[in-house]
Every structure is written in C-alpha cells, then in structure tokens.
Structure 1
Amino acid sequence: MSTAPSTELAVLPPALVPATVFAPGGVETILTKLEADVRTAAKDLDISTDKGRKAIASLAYKVARSKTALDDMGKGLVEETKKQVALIDADRRVIRDRLDALKDEVRRPLDEYEAAEKARIERHESGIVRIQAMPLFSGERSTDDIAARLAETKAIDTTGFQEFTARADKAKETAVATLTAALENSRARDAERAELERLRQEAAERAAREEAERIEREKQEAAARAAEQAERDRIEAARRAEEDRKAAEERARQREEAAARQERQRIEDERRAEEEAQRRREADRTHRATVNNAAVSALVTAGLSDAAAKAAITAIAKGSVPHVAIAY
C-alpha cells in the first residue's frame, strides 16, 4: 500500500498510511484529534486583525486539504481492495464450478436412481388417484354410465402396484363400493322417475278425459242453451208473426172498412147526385112544362087549337123549328 502524500498540513500526522487510517477505530481517532487541534488553534485567532483573518482562512484550507488527503487514501485502498476482491471472486467461481461438477459426477447414479424411484412412486400414486377418481363424474350421469364405470373399475388390475398394492386394492374396493351404491341409487331414482312418469301420464290422461268431458258438457249445455234460445226465438218469431198477422188483418179490415165507407159514401154521393139530378130534371121538366104550357096557352090564345099549339111548342122544344127557341 502507498503512504500518504507529503503535505505541510499541521493538522494531520505526517506518517499516516491507509491501513492505519482505515483500521477499525482509526478514522474516529484521527478525526477526533484533528477536530480538537483545529478548534484549539482557531480559538486563539483574532478575527478583528488582518493577520488573524488570514490565519483562519489558512486553517480552514488545511482542514479541506486534510479531507482531500484522507479521501484519496480511502479511494486508493478501495481500488486495491477491489482488485483483490476480483481475484478472489474468480477463484470462487472456479471453486464452485469444479466442485459442483464433482458433486454432480458423484451424485449422478444416486440422482438417476432417485428420479426413477420418484417416477415409479408418482406412477403408482397417479394410478391410485385415478382409481379413487373413478366414482367421480362431470355433469349429468345416467344409470348406464354408472354401470359402465363400475365394470371398468372392477376390471382394474392392481397386481403391478408393488408396495402400493394394499392402497390400490383399498382404493379399488372403495371405488367399487361407491359406484355400486351409486348404481343402486340411480336405479332406484330411475324406478321412481318411471313411477312418477306413469303417475304423471295417468294424471295427464285423467285431466285430458276430464277436459274432454268438460268440453262435451259445455257443448251439450251450449247446445241446450242454443236449443232453448232457438225455441224462445221461434216462439218470439211466432208471436211476432201472429202479431204481424193480426196487425195485417187489422190493417186489411181497416182498409176494407175504409173502402166500404168510401163505397158507401160513393153510392150515397151518387144517390144524392142522382136525386139532385132527378130533382133538377123534375124541376126542369116542371119548369119546361110550365113554360111550355104557358107558351101553349099563349098560342091557343093567339088562335091555335090546343093540339096545334102543343105540337108547335113540342117541335120548337125539340129544335125542329129553325130559328125559333123557347127561353126557359
């Protein structure tokens, strides 16, 4: 190791070496002494004089140089230590690699045996687990599925399980018992479901019959109601027809009576008209006769005979005498 560089620092011992400085407790000892010496020197310096101020600056500079010197010692020691550590690490790697290879070489037969043994044990353990899993199903299982699995389980050969044969036999026995019980339960459920289905079918058929009977009853009731309604409608129609007939007869009677009244009135009117005409004719004949008689009398008075006068008036009245007429 190199010694500390020469320096004029009064605060550090001149013969310091890194091994001494960085030995256990060395840094603390040096720093404690340096702090005490610097504080003692600084205590007697007068800050009010130029000389004192320069002395303080010089003392602070020496402390900074002491820090640098000590830090450089530490850096150099670390670099040398790193080189030694690198060499040691290289040797360690050689040690690890060669001794690991030697260990592997020595253990290889044992490792191969242990691996084969582990594989053998895992194979038997896996076989036992498969036997134990035989009663397990994923999803819905039917009776046929359980019966097939039971047959498959019974067919398992456990003679090759070596020292695990007892466990394999026990797992097989348990699996067979579990599957047998499951098969019996499944068959019982099948029988129960079949019975329930039979009862359900009977109930459905009974319900269908009852529904058909209800519908038939409703049809019959509806038919009866329809027949009753039809009879009521027929009776009502007959009643209305009878009323219509009576009304028609009444209207016909009224029309006949009206026609008879009109006929009687017509006959009466004709009779009255005829009577009036007859009265008028008689009155006219009487008037004419009176006029004619008067004319006859006048002609007789004028010198005609009664017969001639009547003949003349009759001829005039008939219009047989031109340009001569009687004013009635």
Structure 2
Amino acid sequence: MSSRSRNTDDRRGVSPKVDVMYSLKVDNLTYRTRVEDLRRCFEKFGSIGDIYIPRDQFSRSSRGYAFVRFSKKRDAQDALERMDGTDLDGREIRVQFARYGRASATDSREKVRHRRTRSRSRSPRRSKHRSRNPALGLHVIHGQNQHLHKYSLYESMATTTDQQKKCREDVDAVANFSKRYYDIFDARRHDIEKFYQAQAKLVWNGTELDGSGTIAKYLIALPPTRHNIYALDFFPMNDLFPNEPKTFQVFVSGAVVYGSPESNSVPKEKRLFSHVFVLTVDINSSIWVITNECFRFHE
C-alpha cells in the first residue's frame, strides 16, 4: 500500500486491518523520523500494510518509536533480521516483533475499571511513605494532593545543631521551589521563564528545547493544567561538582490534568508524569534556577 493510498483511506475513515498483519516495533527513532523514511527503509522486504508513529497528544512530537506492519510473516522476519541494529537518521535502531496490538475499546474500559478499583482499595497508610537510600543520601518528600510530607535522611544523620539546620534549609529550599514552580505553571505560566537559567535545556516528552526564552514560549503554548504531586525526591550534587554553587538533582512524580476547569466542552485528561531537573543557585542573581530538565509522560 502506497503512502498516498493509505492517506486516502484515512480520509474516508477506513482503518488498516492491523489485526491480520505482522507488526514490528522499531525503537530508538529520532523525533524527526517520518513515515516516509520508515517506508523507504522497510518496503524492500515486502508489502507493508501500515506504518504508525505514536505521537504526543499535545506537542504532536514523535514518542521515539514506531510500528511497521507487514502482510506476510516471512517479510516481517526478514526485515527484523536485516534492520535490527542498523543506522537510521544517525541512530542505531532496535527492531523486534511487537508484543501487543492496539487495545480494543473493551480492553481499555477494563483497564480503567481495574485502576479505579485498585485506587479505592489502597490503604491510607500507603499513600504516604518514606524512601530511604543511605548510599545516595536521598532527601524524600512524599504525599498526595499537594499535602507534602517532608523528610530528610541528612537531618536524621546530622550530629550538630548547625548540620541539622543546614539540612532543614536544603529540604525547605527544594520543596518551596518545586511548589512555586507548579503553582506558577498552573496559574501564571507567563512568568515561568524566571525559573530557568538563561542557557537552560529541556527535553519535554521528546522535544528538545534550548534557552529559557524558547522553553517558556513552548510551555506557555500548552493547554491549561492542574498538577498533583505524589512524590518529590532530591539529592545534592556538590560531591560531583565541588567547585559549583549549591546544586541538587530533583525527581518529581505525579499527575497532570489538561483542560480549563471552567470549560465543560473540552474533555479533560489526567496523565501520570515523571519530572527530573537540576536545580542550582544562579551566580548572577543568587536565586534558584533550573539548568537542565527532562519531563516525560508515563506510557
């Protein structure tokens, strides 16, 4: 099936019969790889019935993998053996038979029902907990619904009053910065640029952004959000970079709802996410700023 004929089918609402095809999953793609690029590489092995590149719902950027579906199993096997480990757009791709097909509507409803049942059955004691990792000296702040429970492993190990005070200051600094960041992101996102160093770098669910201005412009264009932070962990990095200002690596997990709470016409979607960023004191302004950042939705 040519690219043109498939596009015609899509416009008519005709979906490819992927359940009778042999599907290969292609991993480690660049975010600029297109359907045409994959077709050019794989069509020499046999008739291709469908090529699908999953994309983020909001940014529309590729998620870094794709499915190439062949009409014959032998052709799919040949493509796997010949293409696995080869270079595509400067990356070594990984090719394997896809383990799962697209979920049916019934399967999706069952998964949602199962998740809701689990969430209702969880004990309140499990909603807040402490993660201990003495090897990393990990500071942990866990909780739900923005009610964060503060805990510092450093503080428990400190032997002097000055050490305990310093540990509490570090915990409060990271917790307060993180709370302000998400509050501004949700309510006054036009002010988000001040949280970033001028040369900051961000990878937002696969989209690479350089510079505080570029980052702010991209984030401001996203739909309205409401963040719910489940866990916030961090550890100091000054042992690795002793000559740098005070620096922390921060790990955040939670859920975000997209869509204005005042609007009932736009469906709202709750998505789990992981957020990792490097937090340091800017030498010019003496305020906390993000220097490097990675944000990812959970699949």
* TM-score band w.r.t. shorter chain: under 0.3
For the pair shown, the structure with the greater C-alpha radius of gyration is 1
Structure 2 length normalisation: TM-score?
Answer: 0.17
The structure with the largest helix share of the pair is: 1
- Larger RCO: 1 or 2 (CA < 8 Å, sep 6+): 2
